[in-house]
Amino acid sequence: MRRQLPEIEEFVQGIQAADRVLLGQAITLVESTRPEHQEMAREIIGRLLKQSGVTDSFRIGLTGAPGVGKSTLIEALGLHLTNQQKKVAVLAIDPSSAISRGSILGDKTRMEKLSTSELAFIRPSPSGDSLGGVARKTRESILLVEAAGFDTVIIETVGVGQSEYAVHSMSDVFVLMLQPGAGDELQGIKRGIVEMADFLVVNKADGDNVKLANQARTHYLNATHLLPEKANTWSPKVLACSALEQTGISELWESLELYLKHVKDNGFLETNRRRQASYWLKEALENGLRTMFYNNPVIVNQFETIEKEVLESRISPFAAAEKLLNAFKDNSG
């Protein structure tokens, strides 16, 4: 980042002109913990939203267990798209980034070819104290990359923990990557994640694995038939591909485009985005409320004592809450 931060106006114009340096700096502001940076970021996004309105983008959420080949697939799919002159942004939500300060996508060499493309923008996962914080930053970054003209936004996460739900809550489509393998393939993956998936992509359908991959595909195909119908009325599509050998990639994209048409036609895309915006408003509000409450000096002062009484069963949790809420009411503002 430059010593002197550019002015808001410079950011707004630069991002609209697809200036990658300014875009990157704006995302850095989003990710910053400094209040003045966050305020600047909010101002920039606000100005961009006012000017561009709803953008015609496609937000693709992608998850899969470590080692399933997410980066390789994103690179293959990304190159397939940049070859068609599409502009691809790759963002990530890494739940472990609270500790590791950004591991997935941190290593840009993982997408060596895509990262050198003029038409692609790759950004590692932000770090943060909580998954909620990390997710919020990524959600805001989506707005920035879209304002910079990136029409396809891939949001990656690792298939562990709760981050899949976060990615799902900001994507138009949810892609679950799977490995061919013996036994009950659904075993390792939480049922809820499978139920969210619009696409199940069995990767590594190459070399000795082709037969296994096709078996896995059939298995998942049967499994998805048992799932309840989704709100988008799309029957989950099960595909096999090889990110390494780049087979099945164009089929995947064609199928994703069919999906996009489907949810545009039936109105789900718009309804879903509105629902997501409403969800994020609620999340941001309640997160802000909690922060306001727990940082209130009177609460800071009283909380520990009252919590101790609760833990020792000397007061019920509900009476304790009432006490603290009254103290907050009398001492906020």
Q: Which residues bind a second copy (CB under 8 A)?
A: 42, 45-46, 49-50, 53-54, 136, 139-140, 143, 190-191, 273-274, 277-278, 280-281, 283-290, 292-293, 307, 310-322, 324-325, 328-333
> Which residue lies nearer to a second copy by CB, 135 or 243?
135
- DSSP symbols for 7-60: PHHHHHHHHHTT-HHHHHHHHHHHH---HHHHHHHHHHHHHHHHHH-S---EEE
Query: Which amino acid, one-letter code, is at 219?
Result: H
> Which residue lies nearer to a second copy by CB, 104 or 197?
197
Residue 75 three-state SS: helix
Gyration radius of the chain over CA positions: 22
Q: What is the nearest approach in angstroms of a second copy to the Cβ of residue 238?
A: 19
Residue 175 parent element (H or E): strand 173-178
d(CA 201, CA 203): 6
> Which residue lies nearer to a second copy by CB, 250 or 291?
291
Q: What is the nearest approach in angstroms of a second copy to the Cβ of residue 205?
A: 27
> Which residue lies nearer to a second copy by CB, 24 or 133?
133
Residues 6+ apart with CB under 8 A from 295: none
> Which residue lies nearer to a second copy by CB, 15 or 81?
15
- Asked whether 198 and 259 are in contact (CB, 8 A), the reply is yes
d(CA 309, CA 332): 24
Q: What is the nearest approach in angstroms of a second copy to the Cβ of residue 265?
A: 20
Residues 6+ apart with CB under 8 A from 169: 135, 276, 279, 280
Q: What is the nearest approach in angstroms of a second copy to the Cβ of residue 226?
A: 8
> Which residue lies nearer to a second copy by CB, 210 or 309?
309
Q: What is the nearest approach in angstroms of a second copy to the Cβ of residue 57?
A: 11
Q: What is the nearest approach in angstroms of a second copy to the Cβ of residue 115?
A: 27
